[in-house]
């Protein structure tokens, strides 16, 4: 069985690392061909992940990134189609909700190649988010939907997607948290050195709805300024430059550092007092490492964490951020309730792929554009 896996962004590298490592135990029966679209294309956002997570180097690097969503997705579809016509895989495997995810699913479905979607069924119900469009369309194209939770399965049921094609596998990010916890390393940065033994909060901001809206961004920074602790903020240099051009300044208690690799991010998550983020993946990682989380958005896909009290949604109100910080500090995040599986999601993903092997079930494999 041959699987083409498409990745393009940081969270997908982590998820792919977990599943690829598990696939290595099936080398006699399974060949994986890794395709990197280039959606995250600089060294700190991409290359470092392959180095530290022991991901095999991509067989194909498409070098597509930096453009608007439509341009990126269209170019990716064109290039992925060429790969699929050459490789003739039995499965297309995609992760999450990026432009790379949708491009892989569209290219494969046009060639009658079954699509397996890891992290299917998530919904924010905010169609202004590109990620929401990507995940909804990919789910409706997929032949195998590997959901991280029962709630995600319920979301699909409400859209008429039911039956054996939907499998509750758990979250491969939980697998990653367990595996890489002991490999984490402290970032080598003066910002941390200057704190000594004092604690810190960890903040990440990357969504366009926040970084491209000066009002929302200023609300977040004003909220951070009021916190009674230092805040470590890994921030991409392009975002930092845009903020400088807009005249937006960082509060004195916010220590801005360059983006970090995954193992360094794990260390920050495991050693901070609290996480404040607009990232879906970081919300989960905070819980996996026993830290309370404040979500700097108006909604979340990971509703289970809100329901169990580990996460609070505050938007970008500076007042709400400060209030939530004081309240969440008192929370004990035990991890006793684990809505995302038992840390064996990758094995369940592979089991589902093998059981649904298209060659066994009689599904077609692409041979030409006109097939």
H/E element holding 96?
Answer: none
Of 26, 61, 69, 206, the active-site residue reads 206
Residue 354's contacts (CB-CB under 8 Å, 6 or more residues apart) are 1, 26, 29, 30
Residue 206 a catalytic site member: yes
Burial (0-12, 13-18, 19+ Cβ within 10 Å), 238: exposed
Encoded tokens for 116: 């397996």
Q: What would the DSSP string read from start to end of 314-332? A: -TT-HHHHHHHHHHHHT--
Distance (Å, whole) CA 74 – CA 71: 5
Q: What backbone phi and psi angles, to 5 degrees, belong to 277?
A: -155, 155
Cβ(100)–Cβ(123) under 8 Å? no
Helix, strand, coil shares of the chain, percent, nearest 5, are 45, 15, 40
Kindly report the three-state secondary structure assignment for every residue of 62-75: CCCCCCCHHHHHHH
Nearest Cα to 211, choosing from 250, 233, 242, 234? 242
H/E element holding 93?
Answer: strand 91-95
Cβ(61)–Cβ(19) under 8 Å? no
Distance (Å, whole) CA 112 – CA 186: 46
> In angstroms, what CA-CA distances link 354 with 42, 103, 316, 350?
35, 24, 44, 6
Strands 115-118 and 91-95 come out as parallel
DSSP label at 37? -
Active site (catalytic) residues: 206
């Amino acid at each position: 069985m041959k699987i083409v896996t498409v990745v393009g962004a940081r969270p997908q590298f982590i998820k792919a690392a977990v599943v690829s490592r598990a696939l290595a135990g099936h080398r006699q029966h399974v060949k994986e061909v890794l395709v990197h679209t280039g959606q995250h294309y600089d060294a700190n956002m991409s290359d470092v992940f392959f180095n530290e997570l022991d991901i095999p180097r991509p067989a194909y690097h498409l070098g597509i990134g930096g453009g608007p969503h439509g341009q990126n997705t269209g170019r990716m579809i064109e290039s992925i189609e060429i790969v699929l016509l050459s490789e003739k895989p039995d499965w297309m495997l995609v992760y999450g909700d990026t432009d790379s995810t949708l491009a892989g699913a569209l290219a494969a479905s046009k060639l009658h190649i079954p699509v397996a979607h890891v992290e299917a069924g998530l919904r924010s119900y905010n169609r202004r988010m590109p990620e929401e469009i990507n995940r909804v369309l990919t789910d409706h194209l997929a032949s195998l939907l590997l959901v991280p939770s029962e709630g995600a399965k319920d979301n699909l049921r409400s859209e008429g997607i039911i039956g054996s094609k939907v499998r509750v596998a758990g979250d491969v990010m939980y697998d990653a948290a367990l595996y890489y916890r002991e490999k984490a390393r402290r970032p080598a940065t003066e910002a941390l050195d200057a704190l000594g033994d004092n604690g810190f909060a960890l903040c990440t901001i990357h969504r366009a709805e926040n970084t491209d809206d000066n009002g929302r961004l200023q609300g977040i920074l004003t909220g951070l300024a009021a916190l009674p602790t230092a805040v470590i903020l890994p921030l991409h240099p392009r975002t930092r430059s845009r903020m400088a051009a807009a005249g937006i300044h960082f509060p004195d208690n916010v220590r801005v550092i360059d983006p970090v690799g995954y193992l360094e991010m794990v260390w920050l998550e495991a050693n901070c007092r609290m996480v404040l983020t607009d990232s879906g993946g970081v919300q989960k990682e905070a819980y996996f490492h026993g830290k309370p989380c404040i979500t700097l958005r108006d909604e979340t896909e990971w509703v289970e964490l809100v329901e169990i009290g580990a996460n609070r949604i505050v938007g970008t109100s500076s007042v709400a951020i400060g209030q939530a910080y004081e309240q969440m500090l008192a929370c004990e995040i035990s991890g006793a309730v684990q809505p995302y599986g038992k840390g064996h999601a990758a094995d369940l993903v592979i089991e589902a792929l093998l059981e649904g092997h298209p060659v066994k079930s009689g599904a077609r494999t692409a041979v030409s554009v006109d097939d």
